[in-house]
Amino acid sequence: MNVSDSQWLDRSLQTMGLTPSREEDADIFLINTCSVREKPEHKIYSLLGRLQDYARLKPHVFAGVGGCVAQQVGRGFFERFPLVRLVFGTDGLAMVPEALKRLLGDAHLKTSLLDFEDYYPEREDNWNGEVPGQAFVNVMQGCDNYCAYCIVPYTRGRQKSRRSEDILAECRRLISLGTKEITLLGQNVNSYGQDRNGQELSFADLLYEIGGLAGLDRLRFTTSHPKDIDSRVIRAFGEISALCPQLHLPLQSGSDRVLEAMGRRYTREEYLNIVRDLKSACPDIALSTDLIVGFPGETEEDFSQTLDMLNLVGFDSSFSFKYSDRTGVRSCEMQPKIAVEIKAERLARLQKLQNEWTAEKLAQRVGRKEPVLIENSSKKQHGGETVSWTGRDPGGRVVHVTLPPGRDFGRQLLQVEIVRAHKHSLTGEVIK
């Protein structure tokens, strides 16, 4: 979501006539922050400390700080760094271009855009000219779940679904400009519409509407919460031809005891039933997940249940993290905390097992013929005659293909035979 937010801001600023530049030439620095990992605040403080030097040499230079850390620290940035003249939260992003105009017109002004709205703050449509082959479209913002470890409901606010007319209009426009693949984004897309008092489509209906748009080759969505995924969404994987056989379904822990302490509101059995139904609707579905090791109170037995789930589900890939406290969330108060070295050792064991599954899943792709949507060239020339390009198969796996020079293959869907599996990607050869 941060990548998508930054891309929107980049397009908006370029529409205003601003241009991207090297750090030493910049007049404005915009920093979009994330607080999902540890100590992001410190990183931003050291970055701003460094950028402050530019403002000493060129007094007109200023910075804006946005995203989750800005939401938490707020106007505190003004006090610490005179360079900072704008702070904005995720709901304030839509108003940043206007705020920048005001800041450029008044060198003494400082502005904060930190209020949470109780509706989805619609952003100006700034898709102009060339659009990417693969684009993100927001469907909602914020989250109502308050999982014990998570800062998101405090930094991105309560769940706000975007109007389906606006979502569909953006999708239609992207398709008309040449986009082939759309990824719908939200913290918890499966509860889309539930904050609109029955006046909005369900997420399943939205998928069918977008999946039915002529000219769209691929549709994906992220992120799902297992407790909210409904049977119609699961069935959609077998019914909507544009819907890619790929789902990111955060598990977090394989232990019912830990899941309960986390406030996730599903059990391992319920999760396994969802996986069973997904595999029956779409046997080729690629599943990925998020996992936290060392949640307060996690025993070796709890952890072994997480390893067990990896083997029962067979995830294609996973993102795994050591638990760390985030100020203000419930799990900060939970005891006992797990020792750093135990967390590190569990994470290493989990990642070793995941790497084995990933290798096996990738090896299973060799010999398959798949449409690959080419995203970009790695610019590597092979003997001056061919160029290496990277794309994705329907399951979202990265595929490298070597293609003749002199042509732009970006945004093309090519039929490819997978010939080799690597640690995290595949190599294919074009067959037509």
What are the residues binding ligand SF4 (CB under 6 A)? 143, 145-147, 150, 152-153, 187-188, 225
Put residue 416 in one of left, alpha, beta given phi > 0 → left and psi -120 to 50 → alpha: beta
Cβ 379 to ligand SF4 shortest distance, Å: 36
Residue closer to ligand SF4 by CB (options 152, 401) is 152
Residue closer to ligand SF4 by CB (options 13, 143) is 143
For the chain, helix, strand, coil in percent to 5 are: 40, 25, 40
Checking 19-28 for CB contacts under 8 A at 24+ apart, the result is 23/51, 23/54, 24/54, 26/54, 26/61, 27/58, 27/60, 27/61, 27/62, 28/61, 28/62, 28/63, 28/64, 28/100
Cβ 274 to ligand SF4 shortest distance, Å: 15
Report the half-sphere exposure of 147 (CA within 13 A, side-chain side): 25
CA distance 430 to 60: 52
What is the H or E stretch that residue 2 is in? helix 2-15
Residue closer to ligand SF4 by CB (options 154, 409) is 154
Residue closer to ligand SF4 by CB (options 247, 372) is 247
CA distance 266 to 39: 30
Cβ 144 to ligand SF4 shortest distance, Å: 7
What is the H or E stretch that residue 172 is in? helix 164-177
Phi–psi pair at 287, nearest 5 degrees? -110, 135
Cβ 331 to ligand SF4 shortest distance, Å: 11
Cβ 361 to ligand SF4 shortest distance, Å: 25
Residue closer to ligand SF4 by CB (options 63, 140) is 140
Cβ 363 to ligand SF4 shortest distance, Å: 32
Angle between helices 231-239 and 203-211 (to 10 degrees): 10
Cβ 251 to ligand SF4 shortest distance, Å: 11
Cβ 268 to ligand SF4 shortest distance, Å: 17
Residue closer to ligand SF4 by CB (options 256, 290) is 290
For the chain, first and last CA: distance in Å?
35
Tell me whether strands 246-248 and 84-88 are parallel, antiparallel or unpaired. Answer: unpaired
Cβ 262 to ligand SF4 shortest distance, Å: 8
CA distance 432 to 370: 11
Residue closer to ligand SF4 by CB (options 238, 263) is 263
Report the half-sphere exposure of 202 (CA within 13 A, side-chain side): 9
What is the H or E stretch that residue 418 is in? strand 413-421
Tell me whether strands 246-248 and 426-430 are parallel, antiparallel or unpaired. Answer: unpaired
Residue closer to ligand SF4 by CB (options 182, 259) is 259
Put residue 294 in one of left, alpha, beta given phi > 0 → left and psi -120 to 50 → alpha: left
Cis peptide before 223 (omega within 30 of 0): yes
372: which residues sit within 8 A by CB, 6+ positions away? 391, 392, 393, 399, 401, 413, 414, 415, 416, 428
Cβ 358 to ligand SF4 shortest distance, Å: 23
Residue closer to ligand SF4 by CB (options 12, 318) is 318
Sign of CA dihedral 224, 225, 230, 231: positive
Residue closer to ligand SF4 by CB (options 156, 392) is 156
